[in-house]
Structure 1
Amino acid sequence: MELFTYSNLVHAIAGGSGSAVAMSALYPLDTVRTRQQLEEGRTSKNIFSQLAEIYKQEGLAGLYRGLLPVVESLYCSNFVYFYSFHGLRRVANPDKEALRDLLLGVLSASINVMTTNPLWVVNTRLKMQGVKVGTGSQISPVRRRYKGMLDGLRQVGRDEGVAGLWSGAASSLVLTVNPAIQFMAYEAMKRQAQRMSGGRQLSSLAVFGVGAVAKTIATVLTYPIQLVQAKQRHGHTFDGLPQKAGLIPIMLYIVRRHGVQGLFKGLEAKLLQTVLTAALMFVCYEKIAAIVFALLMGKKETVLQKNF
């Protein structure tokens, strides 16, 4: 079957590995992004001032808190996404039409969400352990200490049940349009760039630029939903809202309390972190895929290009 091939496996390995390398290289930016999204009482500062503040108060460990579970979750998430996308594409979109790529991207991201959401719930909490979140009645309750990913999954499952493990899943399903938009834009711009270059393979710098533009488009369009998702995964409580409030009530609450700009709190850090990470991920993905194809399949680079 086209869904179960070495080619799909190679894309999955390359996508997971590329994302892990990129996140590891730029992780302090993700720390700032998370703090800005979740710390209600923190005044927004420029990214580099906040990096310096965290380093001064918490040391290097503060900047890299929760790195391992994030990398684990990201690798698993991108492995599932890239495997699903390339497998479905080989079956349903051999001509690589942009709109069909978008639809397959949404379906692949949905598979990813339902498979890996518990990992993201736990790593969000691991990252924020020991960090004061909120002010007054908005302070989240004191949580149990998690020793790692497996311990976190066990404790959340025991204490909060299935609903706890899949906190934010509804927002995540809505956010399936983010990687779908990103991947559709990336594939379309890459094909156009290759046509403009006479069919030559793109340089690493060109791939980086295409990946950055694609992620910028996807992030700006979906950021308010990402903000709500982060709060749901962390277990935020909101005055006047039920504990498991949905996406729309939380967005309306944020607008009432902080104005429309509240929906975009942390966007600057998110753009810098996610755009650079995504661009670097695509560079690593292309290079790793070429190497793994050569090792596992013994095929030349020209054959690889037919699979992208």
Structure 2
Amino acid sequence: MSSSPGPGSSAPFTLTGSLQRLFSHVRIENLVAGLSGGVVSTLVLHPLDLVKIRFAVSDGLEVRPKYSGILQCMRSVWHQEGLRGLYQGVTPNIWGAGASWGLYFFFYNAIKAHRKEGRQTELSSTEHLLSAASAGAITLCLTNPIWVTKTRLVLQYSTDPTKKQYKGMTDALVKIYRYEGIAGLYRGFVPGLFGTSHGALQFMAYEKLKRDYNKYRKMQSEAKLNPLEYITMAALSKIFAVATTYPYQVIRARLQDQHNKYDGVVDVIRRTWRNEGLSGFYKGMVPNLIRVTPACCITFVVYENVSRFLLEQ
């Protein structure tokens, strides 16, 4: 006799009940606050993101411009294409960052509240890590096509607009889907999935720093901090996460790059190691740190204040 649940089994209802409890914890305020933080930080710091990606894929191909440093790269793009050049790919970046931060905070807070339901004790660091990893995986499934289009737009080097492969975000999405299918829109998904560990480590560190600091102040763990304190917690947690997981961003950018073809993650790792050594996996890390640390601080300060304001309303 089959052991699968029959019509009278309670398993489907248990699953339904669990999902209902999870969704009872979702708050649109977290989505709006996270989206606001992502959009503001992206608008301010997109040029540094462009520089980071161009350094990350600098593998010696003739098609690529040669840059000696961050400032020289920014000056070169400015002289050739002006402000528009520095903001290539900003549209999908705004969509991607806004959606990613909004959805991340949205799912993270719901999962965290669901785990804490009916408990008097605080969540452990491992539980924060798992909550953030789950939120990151869900968010990546929804936003990966946006990140592919951003990478493609950022890596259009020609100063002649007629030679550019994509006219904008929508054109890139349509062309990638038309010529490469769903697989093209999900290039870099595997290293991106690994990259959820980046967000998970960051949120784990951020929550622990806040909790330990409030214990030191003899305050409740969720007590409000001032902007400088939020900035400090966000910066320390981001530096920790970047230093731990940066190579996946190089691998992901190279998989999404239209100028070079790889057979998958293992091929990227093998060729990067053979041609560039260990340093190849850390290309672009300095401009990335210069960009993501203030971006993270802006995002978290905006998020904490907007979400608290909206929830109080």
Give the TM-score category using the shorter length. 0.7 to 0.9
Kindly provide the CA deviation profile for residues 15-43 of structure 1, in whole angstroms up to 9, marking residues without a partner as x.
12101101111111111111111233455
Cα distance, 1:11 vs structure 2: 1.2
- The residue that corresponds to 1:159 in the other structure is 179
Cα distance, 1:79 vs structure 2: 2.0
The alignment status of 1:29 with 2:56, answered yes or no, reads: no
The alignment status of 1:206 with 2:232, answered yes or no, reads: no
Distance 1:284 1:5 in 2: 25
The alignment status of 1:125 with 2:152, answered yes or no, reads: yes
Distance 1:100 1:112 in 2: 18
Distance 2:252 2:107 in 1: 23
Structure 1 residues 131 and 85, CA gap change in structure 2 (3 angstroms) = farther
| Structure 2: tracts of 5 or more residues without a match | 1-19
Cα distance, 1:144 vs structure 2: 6.7
Q: Is the 8 A contact 2:38 2:102 kept in 1?
A: no
Distance 2:213 2:255 in 1: 39
Distance 1:43 1:192 in 2: 46
Distance 2:205 2:199 in 1: 10
Q: Is the 8 A contact 1:11 1:82 kept in 2?
A: yes
Distance 1:158 1:58 in 2: 29
Q: Is the 8 A contact 2:25 2:114 kept in 1?
A: no
Candidates 8, 14, 30, aligned match of 2:27: 8
Distance 2:309 2:71 in 1: 36
Pairing of 1:1-308 with structure 2 (within 5 A): 1-5=20-24, 8-41=27-60, 43=66, 45-94=68-117, 95-131=122-158, 145-199=165-219, 201-237=224-260, 243-294=261-312, 298=313
- Identity of matched residues, %: 30
Kindly provide the CA deviation profile for residues 160-208 of structure 1, in whole angstroms up to 9, marking residues without a partner as x.
0111011011111111100000111111101112222332531101111
RMSD over aligned Cα atoms: 2.1
Structure (1 or 2) with the larger CA radius of gyration: 2
Cα distance, 1:156 vs structure 2: 1.1
Letter in 2 for 1:254: T
Q: Is the 8 A contact 2:166 2:172 kept in 1?
A: yes
Q: Name the SS of the counterpart of 1:90 in structure 2.
A: helix
Distance 1:51 1:196 in 2: 43
Letter in 2 for 1:107: S
Cα distance, 1:129 vs structure 2: 2.4
Q: Is the 8 A contact 1:93 1:101 kept in 2?
A: no
Cα distance, 1:211 vs structure 2: 0.4
Q: Name the SS of the counterpart of 2:298 in structure 1.
A: helix
Distance 1:87 1:148 in 2: 34
Cα distance, 1:3 vs structure 2: 3.0
Instruction: State TM-score, norm by structure 2.
Output: 0.83
